[in-house]
Amino acid sequence: MSSMRATRRIGIIMAGGSGERFWPLSRQHKPKQLLNLTDSGHSMLEEAVGRLAPLIDPADIYIATGEHLVDSIRAAQVGVPDENVIAEPCKRNTSGCLAYATAHILAKYAPGASGLNEDEQRGLSIAVVTADHVIGDTTLFRTMVDKLLKAAAEHGALATLGVVPTRAETGFGYIQIPEKMVSVPGYDGVYQVSGFHEKPSAERAQAFVESGRYLWNSGMFFWTVWDFLSELEVVRPQLKQATLDMAEAMRRHDLGRVQVVFEQLDNISIDCALMEHARNVLVARAEFTWDDIGTWSALDRGYTHDEKGNVIVGDGVTMDCTNCVVYHDGHEGNGHNMAVGVVGAKDLVVVVTDDAVLVIPKERAQDVRLIVEELKRRGASQI
């Protein structure tokens, strides 16, 4: 157990993406985190920054993304300084993202030294969130983040938020909690994790839900720099060394060396690289509504419905339709140039922009990427 608590809080918002899952509204330079996919009137990324900002100074909130998105995110002015939008050299999954962001933090907060000592690393507490979550009660969210940041720092642990499942979802990972749940000292509702499980089959997901001992893995993490690096030292020492090497190269402004080190990283999630093997992991049940906006069909859970279960965004017209999602992008006068009508459809997604139309059954919403792949093959401009 650590004898001190972190004195400075830092936020990392993971916001990569290729703009495929919400095509045609999303594009390569405008992925879903820059879209308005809830009824809040704000982009997903703006919402993510806004949830953290009362707990963490925006000057200490960093957005980790790909090089192709830096300009778009900065232009969107989501609430952090331009220099806090940091670009990974290439795709290396969430473990690469967090290694790179941690190296940036190590270099940023000790620019003239060889590194931060143990007390300084323990004094930096990090909240890792993503840019594609819908969270119902932001006040409760902040309360739980505050609790987990404190618990992780005090107990020298890695911490995460688990979501109570509302369905047998096969698209999420699961966190197993002990049969006899005993809160860690000083933090009611925070428990030791028994194990992590990858995306299950439908039958296994149903068994997880019925047992009451499994939570959805939200992909949000909380730790101090010291504890993150200490756990890496045990379970994936090469990733820790790469993080330190990148930090040192960043201090020297040797971006070529940073890229060489980063490109050698394994393309693996932080769950597989670290969380599944770490010695001391804590979890709290999220007491707020949560959703991961992964496909067009997820808008069913983020918008209000008409009397026939349809979600209609924009000025599309529906007649005799049930359980459809109709999204008409009306930016820059698009709505004046094209009318959208859908008749007699059921369980369908229809998306219309100024230069593209998508029609797809809800149950196949994840297959939008197949259309994008074919458009790329044809050299189409609408991607």
**What's the pLDDT tens digit per position in 260-269?**
999 999 999 9
Show the DSSP H helices in 53-166 as ranges. 70-76, 93-109, 118-122, 138-155
pLDDT tops 80 at residue 337: no
Please tell me which residue, 167 or 113, carries the higher pLDDT value.
Answer: 167
* pLDDT for 31: 86
pLDDT at 6: 59
Peptide bond into 24 cis (omega under 30): yes
For the segment 209-218, the average pLDDT, to the nearest whole number, is 94
Total-model pTM: 0.91
Mean pLDDT over residues 291-309, rounded? 89
CATH superfamily membership of 8-292: Spore Coat Polysaccharide Biosynthesis Protein SpsA; Chain A (3.90.550.10)
Segment 15-21 mean pLDDT:
83
Each residue of 42-64: pLDDT tens digit?
899 999 999 999 999 999 999 99
Over residues 186-214, mean pLDDT:
93
Query: Any residues with CB less than 8 A from the CB of 114 and at least 6 apart, and which?
Result: 248
Q: What does the pLDDT read at residue 113?
A: 63
CB-based burial, 4-15: b 16+ in 10 Å, e otherwise: eebeebbbbbbb
- Domain range annotation of the chain: 8-292, 296-378
